[in-house]
Structure 1
Amino acid sequence: MADLIDAINNTTPDKDEKEVKMMAPLVLAYMGDSIFEVYIRNYVISRGNFSVHQLHKQATKYVKAKAQATIVHALEKELNEEEWAIVKKGRNQKSATVPKNAELIDYKYATGFEALLGYLYYTGKIQRLKELMEKSIDIINVELNK
């Protein structure tokens, strides 16, 4: 995982916080989705030698809308005011697509979560990004073991 975080550190765009706050929440979510997907794929690959199909099934448990909604609700009290504002902006965006395999409210919170990850990436808050993604894995692992 350290190599992945190092790679993210080395590719962080040179944007100031004011510029990032002006970005569309769905653009932040687009990037956050990609970052989280790569992080989770790396995580499931690190757990053992599985077929690509098995890896995909495992990864889906972490990246699906319901899981991300669960994550954001579990993290809510740990998020500062600014972070929660980003989640709410992402959650409240109107999407051009309607989820077919998710409840709309879960989809909206998942979008908010992804927007937060994109925001942390673009503002260079990589340690916080890493911390939240690590906690996300723990949250879903607890859910999966219930």
Structure 2
Amino acid sequence: MTEKDWNLLNGLALAYVGDAAYEVYIRTYLLEKGYTKPNQLHRRATHFVSAKAQAVLMYAMMAKEGFLSEEELGMYKRGRNSKSHTIAKNADVTTYRISTGFEALLGYLHLSGQIERMEELIHWCIQEVEENDHER
């Protein structure tokens, strides 16, 4: 596919790639932080990669004026509005759709070669989760 073709992918295809990309960054981050036991890794990862966590992060990004470009918001909405025939295990439909939009945004950035921007968003997400977990 060419660069312009990434704009044509449906939201679920973008989310499929975004989910994988985000998961790799989070797993790498957790290993670098010293989490090595599988159960420990899984428990900690859910703070970042669950539908609920991703929806909270997406709301926070959208609340920051000018944080996301119009193009990025469009890719988020494409993923959010996609009709998935799967049902989330631990989230309501709205939360699941918002997290699908989050993953679609990351998938689009990854596929279109905007790796620096994707990493900027992921690092921001990590910082948000870590700050909010320490407040609990």
Structure 1 moving runs of 4+ over 3 Å:
none
Please, which runs of 5 or more residues in structure 1 have no aligned partner? 1-13
Partner residue of 2:19 out of 7, 12, 33: 33
CA-to-aligned-CA distance 1:71-114 (integer Å, 9 cap, x gap): 11111131011100110110011111111211211111110010
Supply the distance in 2 between the matched residues of 1:145 and 1:131 (Cα, whole angstroms). 21
For the pair 1:111 / 2:97, whether they are aligned, the reply is no
Cα shift at 1:52: 1.2
Please, which runs of 5 or more residues in structure 2 have no aligned partner? none
For the pair 1:55 / 2:41, whether they are aligned, the reply is yes
CA RMSD of aligned residues (A): 1.2
Using structure 2 for the length normalisation, give the TM-score.
Answer: 0.92
Q: Give the secondary structure class of the aligned counterpart of 1:59.
A: helix
Partner residue of 2:83 out of 94, 101, 105: 94
Supply the distance in 2 between the matched residues of 1:39 and 1:49 (Cα, whole angstroms). 14
Using structure 1 for the length normalisation, give the TM-score.
Answer: 0.86
User: What letter is aligned with 1:15?
Assistant: T
2:2 aligned partner: 15
Supply the distance in 2 between the matched residues of 1:100 and 1:63 (Cα, whole angstroms). 13
Give the number of aligned pairs: 132
Supply the distance in 2 between the matched residues of 1:93 and 1:145 (Cα, whole angstroms). 34
**Fraction of identical pairs, as percent:** 44
